Amino acid sequence: MIAEDITQEVFTNAWKAIGSCKCKEQTFSSWIYRIAHNQIVDKFRSTRSLTATEITVESLPGNIDVEKDAEIKLEWEQTLETISFLPEKQKQVIILKFIEGMDNREIEQITGNSQNAIRVLQMRALNTLRQQLHKEIQK
């Protein structure tokens, strides 16, 4: 439900601002991602009570295998919980890089950070995640 609302807003905003896009294939996808990113940030700011797991778990596939589905949802929630401890810029880079599958050039266009800054953010985020997972294993 929330994802559908955000999607609708993204395409409404894109339709209204289509004149500002240079409409090259590479810049168009980055332009749309930028609009989507801004819309998601606005949504989280306006409704602080929502968590990332509420939005993402809803979008997981239905009950193909109840046990496997529950296991996937649990792993996904644990992943999101671990990522949620990262600073905002690091979290954004990790999501765009490893969940969305973007390269640093695309991330640069979306975030406005240089590719060097993206590499540093990614390295710091991965080090933090490694330390966090190591602590979890130690428990």
* Domain coordinates in residue numbering, the chain: 1-50, 85-139
CA atoms of 39 and 19, how far apart (whole Å): 19
Entry pTM = 0.54
User: What tokens were used for 127?
Assistant: 């080090």
Angle at 99 (CA atoms; ends 96, 103), nearest 5 degrees: 45
Tell me if 6 sits within 8 A of 40, measured CB to CB: yes
Q: Strands, DSSP E only, in the chain?
A: none
Query: What one-letter code names the amino acid at 96?
Result: L
% pLDDT > 70, the chain: 73
**pLDDT number for residue 28:** 73
Condensed to tens digits (0 to 9), the pLDDT of residues 34-50 reads 787 777 777 766 654 44
Average pLDDT score over the chain: 76
CATH code of the domain occupying 85-139: 1.10.10.10
Mean pLDDT of 19-37: 71
Higher-pLDDT residue of 30 and 86 is 86
Count of C-beta atoms within a 10 Å radius of residue 94:
20
Angle at 15 (CA atoms; ends 10, 17), nearest 5 degrees: 95
Closest alpha carbon to 100 in 11, 41, 32: 32
